[in-house]
A = this chain, B = another copy of it.
């Protein structure tokens, strides 16, 4: 489980800190708003930091929400294998840690002859809390 050492630049560190202390996924422009006090002024500065953080696996993008969340899972080495559960009611998002699932998907092969190097899975439903309230 060797951790690839990555040195983050100032902007990358600022953005990562914010995302890591957030309760859920953050959107790019909300990140921008929050880091303006730290001197980051333009969307591109945020997007560039996000791009790098995704590349090194520190965060993931929730594609269906255009939002970004800290990686919470040692299984998804460098963002190659991601799975999330998303509550349709409260919008709560959680990264799924499940070895069987990740093995199943990482080894998945269909008849197309394509070898998959990466996947992203998003499950939708009602979380326990919201199920009770209905």
Contacts and interface: CB of A to CB of B under 8 A. Distances in A.
Contact of A112 (B112, B116, B128): B128
Contacts of A127: 112-114
A120 B122 contact: yes
A85 B114 CA distance: 8
Interface residues of A, number: 31
B112 A118 contact: no
A113 B131 CA distance: 10
20 contacts: A85-B116, A88-B117, A96-B110, A101-B108, A108-B123, A112-B127, A113-B127, A113-B128, A113-B131, A114-B128, A115-B125, A115-B126, A115-B131, A116-B123, A116-B125, A117-B124, A118-B124, A120-B122, A121-B121, A121-B122
Interface of A: 63-64, 85, 87-88, 94, 96, 98, 101, 104-105, 108, 110, 112-128, 131
